Structure 1
Amino acid sequence: MQHIGRSVAFPGHALGSGLTPTSAKELGLLPGTPVGTSLIDAHAGGVGVMESVPEAESKADLSDEEAICRRMVLVCGTSTCHMAVSKNKLFIPGVWGPFWSAMIPEYWLTEGGQSATGALLDYIVENHAAAPLLANHAASQSVSIFELLNKILLSMAHEQNIPFLSALSQDTHVLPDFHGNRSPVADPKSKGVICGLTLDTSEKYLALLYLATIQGIAYGTRHIVEHCNAHGHKIDTLLACGGLAKNSLYIQEHADIIGCPIILPRENESVLLGASVLGAVAAKKFSGIHDAMKSMNAAGKVVHPSSDPRVKKYHDAKYKIFRSLYEQQLSHRSTMAQALQ
């Protein structure tokens, strides 16, 4: 077996003497420009947002060390990574980790995840009969398909005079495990489930499927958060970045379903900001990653859960159905396995 290295360095650790003359010339930079150890993109995103907490949301009774351990970062794109840190080693069934100093030096990283989130929403929309018409309407209005779906849902809620938009999905339930379940049941054989299909091929019905899918993804995140908290974490604040974080409906549904405020960073490109934090530490501009994060991270919008008790009651009921869909699937799987013996 060939070794690729013998030393392990913290993120942001300066390497060698910086850029060589050849590398500097190719990059258009100066020779000797500091080069630091890097992170995978999701972890860099975590470094780019973990300290993006406005003063109003900070907890004065907690030390910085305790406060950062109450947060979970959601890097929401094609898939979603759920990252939280702790000072103590927490082994959580079905969740990756704990990894020592994998994201923030001297903290243990817990990393949950959903393998298909943005990819699942694309699949639901693109494979519906109304997709071509919807795409044409979106193009004519110079908006994205998802912005148009959000507008359709708002219009439907107004037309039906329902108490809150989420209630549109009362007859439609989605288990989003179309690509297995990464966390917290860690079941690669799990399949997606849609309960409540009809023969309706309209844009409005596609909007309902889209809403129910967003909610299914959010129930999955709630499951991850509850599972992590049951095994030692104390997560009560979420920070979100990535493409899906730009979808206001997606973020509001997550806040309502999980019951936590969701903080969006001021910077749109959190992964690049995280990489910049590492570079700043390697260049000795800061004493460490945490100091650099506190200086370079900045909060944008904060999305709070609905204060309407009916919204919580509604999502608690749908969450029970969400959990039961997987339990039913296990029962069905067992029944068929016995039939094939």
Structure 2
Amino acid sequence: MLVAVAVDADGSPVSVSWSGDARRNIIVWMDHRAVDQAERINARNSPVLQYCGGGVSPEMQAPKLLWVKENLQESWSMVCRWMDLSDWLAYRATGDDTRSLCTTVCKWTYLGHAHMEQWKESDSRDMEACGWDEVFWEEIGLGDLELGLLPGIPVGTSLIDAHAGGVGVMESVPDAESTTDIPDESDEQAICHRMVLVCGTSTCHMAVSKNKLFIPGVWGPFWSAMVPEFWLTEGGQSATGALLDYIVENHVAAPLLANHAASQSISIYELLNKILLSLAHEQNIAFVSALTQDTHVLPDFHGNRSPLADPKSKGVICGLTLDTSEKHLALLYLATIQGIAYGTRNIVEHCNVHGHKIDTLLACGGLAKNSLYIQEHADITGCPIILPRENESVLLGAAVLGAVAAKKYPGVRDAMKALNAAGKVVYPSSDPRVKKYHDAKYQIFRALYEQQLSHRSAMAQALQ
């Protein structure tokens, strides 16, 4: 959970709200109040920006802090510590203000490869830009921050929640002899062919590589930020679970549907999946996905994190009618799932174009428990999706770190291999009609954003 926590010298909360309420001392990851600040930071083209996809997101910490400094000067003067939630929890538990390499690298622009000894030998010039780039912070107007983490200092272990999920699932692969459809996992490079989808309110797309890969619009490369000795590439969609909730809960049929689901002692999403299967049978449609041939969704309701890095992007629903039935809600729900899955396909393809070789997905989080959601992702990306045996992968990732700290295993990777375990594997449909259908809808998905850019440009010109 990317959260900026503000406290004073005594550890008491400092408000980051216009209300001045000290209880409101955090800025959650999805807060986009700092879009303008992010744009100004990115306009400076600092060298550190290449390590976060070419530009910071308003969901990262530097723009958030700059917004507070520019808008809440009294609060800014009172804050003694700005901390990520995971670092704050470690600090509260121990009183030790050592920061995590994961949080500082992924969200604060700290260049973590300052800790890689062989890096010093191979490229001494780049070492000058490792650690904190003081020039960057001065240029963006935050030079008064105290950035005390020095290269070589032991770092207390904490991870952002999505990254803990990655640690808890990335080695959850079947034994080689148990299936012939999963690529051989025997050599060390095999982990670089996987991408973890941590599916919750948003979705984080986590992949690692032995070489640093600079990918426009995708966060990273972050050195050792998730798996030690690997570069992390972090894609993401800012609204996935939150978007599905929004689509369902704001439909006129939602209250009736919720009552029907409760009467059957199932979730509203399980009932929607049952309705879709029934609709496909009633309409004699060969596969459920084809129900949405007239409905298309661009899921950028909270901007696009990857690979477009456009926080101003908006959601689009194409194909609305006056239908207010439960069946219509089910179709809209399916089209939204597909839109999210096309976004994942876009991220995977974009990463592979820029050097990754991702061919297998692993999914964890709440949405991973939705069978329709996972099957649509498999069909749309063309990748098998491995579900972990352990449902709570973020907690397992934390347990991995704890086991290493307790010296039960010599390293994080050893603990991951011992404690991660595969559950069900979901494969893409073998029906060529399914692939043809999704290829066509994917092109429409891509066109919806291009049309939005055209509309945005036309309206900007009209307002000049």
TM-score, structure 1 normalization: 0.90
1:94/1:274 CA distance change after superposition, 3 Å: same
Paired residues, what number? 316
Secondary structure class of the residue paired with 1:69: helix
Match of 2:171 in 1: 51
Deviations 1:173-204 (A, max 9, x none): 00000000000001011000000000000000
RMSD in angstroms over aligned alpha carbons?
Answer: 1.3
Match of 1:87 in 2: 210
Partner of 1:190: 313
- Distance in 2 separating the partners of 1:274 and 1:3: 28
**Matching of residues 1-341 of structure 1 within 5 Å:** 1-6=145-150, 37-55=157-175, 56=179, 58-60=182-184, 63-341=186-464
Task: Tell me by how many angstroms 1:283 deviates.
Answer: 1.4
Aligned to 1:33: none
What do residues 52-90 of structure 1 show as CA deviations (whole Å, max 9, x unaligned)? 000225534x65321000000000000000000000000
| Deviation at residue 2 of structure 1 after TM alignment | 2.9
d(CA) in 1 for partners of 2:240 and 2:203? 6
Q: Deviations over 1:146-197 (max 9, x none)?
A: 0000000000000000010000000000000000000000101100000000
Any idea what the Cα deviations from partners look like across 1:78-106, whole Å, max 9, x if unmatched? 00000000000000000000000000111
Q: Which runs of 5+ in 2 are unaligned?
A: 1-144
Amino acid at match of 1:2: E
Distance 1:7-1:170 versus aligned 2 partners, 3 A rule: same
**1:26 match:** none
Aligned equivalents of 2:221, 2:304: Cα separation in 1: 19
Displacement after TM superposition at 1:286 (Å): 1.1
Q: Which amino acid aligns with 2:183?
A: K
AA in 2 matched with 1:70: H
Runs of 4+ aligned structure 1 residues displaced above 6 Å come to none
Q: Distance in 2 between matches of 1:73 and 1:109?
A: 11
Distance in structure 2 (CA, Å) of the matches to 1:180 and 1:316: 23
Instruction: Name the structure 2 match of 1:30.
Output: none
Decide whether the 8 Å contact of 2:182 with 2:384 is kept in 1: no
1:59 corresponds to which letter in structure 2?
A: P
Deviation (angstroms), 1:125? 0.4
Query: Is contact 2:157–2:401 with CA below 8 Å preserved after alignment?
Result: yes
Residue aligned with 1:47, SS: helix
Q: Could you tell me which amino acid in structure 2 is paired with residue 278 of structure 1?
A: L
Q: Which residue number in structure 1 is paired with residue 76 of structure 2?
A: none
Separation in structure 1 between the aligned mates of residue 262 and residue 253 of structure 2, nearest angstrom: 14
Q: Quick check: 2:167–2:227 contact (8 Å CA) kept in 1?
A: yes
Partner SS state of residue 274, structure 1: helix
For 2:278 and 2:417, the matched residues in 1 are separated by 41
Q: Which has the higher contact order (CA 8 A, sep 6+)?
A: 1
CA–CA distance in 1 between the matches of 2:152 and 2:364?
28
Write the distance in 1 (CA, Å) between the matches of 2:149 and 2:444: 49
Q: In structure 1, give the amino acid aligned to 2:393.
A: S
Paired amino acid for 2:258: A
**Conservation of the 8 A alpha-carbon contact between 2:169 and 2:393:** yes
Q: SS in structure 2 opposite 1:90?
A: coil
Please, what TM-score do these two structures have when normalized by structure 2?
Answer: 0.67
Q: Report Cα offsets for 1:274-299 as digits up to 9, x if no partner.
A: 01111111111111111111110000
Give the secondary-structure state (helix, strand or coil) at the position aligned to 1:336.
helix
Counterpart of 1:18?
Answer: none
**What is the aligned partner in structure 1 of residue 42 from structure 2?**
none
Once residues 279 and 215 of structure 2 are traced to their aligned partners in structure 1, the CA distance between those partners, rounded to angstroms, is 41
Whole-Å Cα distance in 1 between the matches of residues 309 and 146 of structure 2? 32
Instruction: Look up the equivalent residue of 1:240 and give its one-letter code.
Output: A
1:4 Cα deviation from its structure 2 partner: 4.5
The aligned counterpart of 2:41 is none
Q: Distance in 2 between matches of 1:58 and 1:154?
A: 28
Describe the superposition over 1:218-258 as per-residue Cα deviations: whole angstroms up to 9, x where unpaired. 00000000000000000000000000000000000000000
> How many Å separate the matches in 2 of 1:191 and 1:238?
27
Q: CA offset at residue 7 of structure 1? A: 5.2
CA–CA separation in structure 2 for the residues paired with 1:158 and 1:48: 39
Q: What SS does the corresponding residue of 2:444 show, helix, strand or coil? A: helix
